[in-house]
Amino acid sequence: MREKLLVTNGAFGRWSILGAAFAVGAVLSPSAHATPLQDPYGTWTLQGENDAVSTLKGTSDQYYTSGLRFNWTSGTDNLPQPLHDLNAALLGPGVQRISLGIEQLIYTPATQHTQLVNPPSNDRPYAGVLLGTVNLINDTDLSRSVVGIQVGVLGPASLGRQVQNGFHNLISDTPNKGWAHQLANQPVFQVQAGRIWRLPVVNVGSVGMDVLPALSGAAGDYRTYGDVAATVRIGQGLQSDFGTATIGPGLDGTDAFVQARPISWYMFAGVEGQAVAYDSTLQGNTVRNNSPHVSKVWDVGEIHAGLAVMWHGVRMSYSQVWQTPTFTASRSGLFNYGSVKLSVKF
């Protein structure tokens, strides 16, 4: 078995796993109970992310190059009794929801290597991931807790090549030529949990400011990590939601919102730090010795900034993300991508 499978035996691996376990345990501890606004409507969300969609100079198919997500989140307190009891047992008292979704993420080597039939072995492997997600969500006035699972496939069955090169053909762009060397098919699974707190800071007239600290983690053969984040928001109707998240690692289940006023809006900026014990998209297939792989970076940081607007049951948001290198041979410096999310209530 290749050395990459023993990553958790190193000092960084042990501490990263401990960090992930601490995050999962901490978010499941009881929080102060309060009853937020009831919301009878489900929320449908479509989210897209791309390294070419950026307020800065974007890249063309490099590293994390595309993410697509479609998700449904239920209204409040209408779960079947077994799920209601499980939610209460895991997350404590609060207003309950369930969230179901599907997402696809696509990864490629650096831009200058995407036209090579044989990409270099020290660059990020071609990889596609297709995941189904089930989350239980529990809200109080000042916190949102999430616990769930992700199950799916890594490799050609995720249809990463077909989606990327099919879109390139549609816009008359050059297809990427190294997909024959993508990671092989492999089932992937992870358990995830997180909690975000909403801490009001100040209100001046109808404009407020708050801070959203968050703690999350996941464990599985897809990714194993612990994550700490904090976001500052300024706007109107901040009690409408708990911020907006990207598709990748970090707190999931933030699509649900309530319409606290006819028009709610906020600008936000935040930082995030991840302790990464394992990432299959970098370290390769779990049980194949000849799988393409690179050495991951165990500590990854991100900066987020953007804008969200809610109007008559519709929320639109844009996030700009700057990310530190995720593997040791990365040449990108601060990698950046854009995330656009549309949520609609029915």
Instruction: Assign residue 339 a region (left: φ > 0; alpha: ψ between -120 and 50; beta: otherwise).
Output: beta
- The pLDDT of residue 1 is 41
pLDDT band at 36 (very low <50, low <70, confident <90, very high): low
Decide if pLDDT at 30 tops 60.
Answer: no
Count: domains in the chain: 1
- The pLDDT of residue 345 is 94
Which pTM does this prediction carry?
Answer: 0.87
pLDDT band at 3 (very low <50, low <70, confident <90, very high): very low
pLDDT band at 219 (very low <50, low <70, confident <90, very high): very high
User: 3-class secondary structure for 133-147?
Assistant: EEEEEEEECCEEEEE
Residue ranges making up the domain that contains 33: 3-345
Which has the closest alpha carbon to 154: 1, 9, 288?
Answer: 288
Q: Rg of the chain over CA atoms, in angstroms?
A: 20
Q: What is the pLDDT of residues 161-214, one digit of tens each?
A: 999 989 888 887 888 899 999 999 999 999 999 999 999 999 998 999 999 999
What does the pLDDT average to over 265-290?
Answer: 92
Joined together, the tokens standing for residue 240 give 């409408």
Which residue has tokens 């990108």?
Answer: 332
Q: What is the CATH number of the domain that holds 184?
A: 2.40.128.140
Decide if pLDDT at 220 tops 80.
Answer: yes
Joined together, the tokens standing for residue 210 give 């708050």
Which residue has tokens 């970076």?
Answer: 297
Least confident of 108-117, 196-205, 221-230: 108-117
Decide if pLDDT at 110 tops 50.
Answer: yes
User: 3-class secondary structure for 27-39?
Assistant: HCCCCCCCCCCCC
Task: Give the percent of the chain with pLDDT over 70.
Answer: 87
Which residue has tokens 């993300």?
Answer: 321
pLDDT higher at 233 or 35? 233
Q: What are phi and psi of 221, to 5 degrees?
A: -90, 5
Tell me how far apart the alpha carbons of residues 150 and 147 are, in angstroms, rounded to a whole number: 10
What does the pLDDT average to over 303-311?
Answer: 96
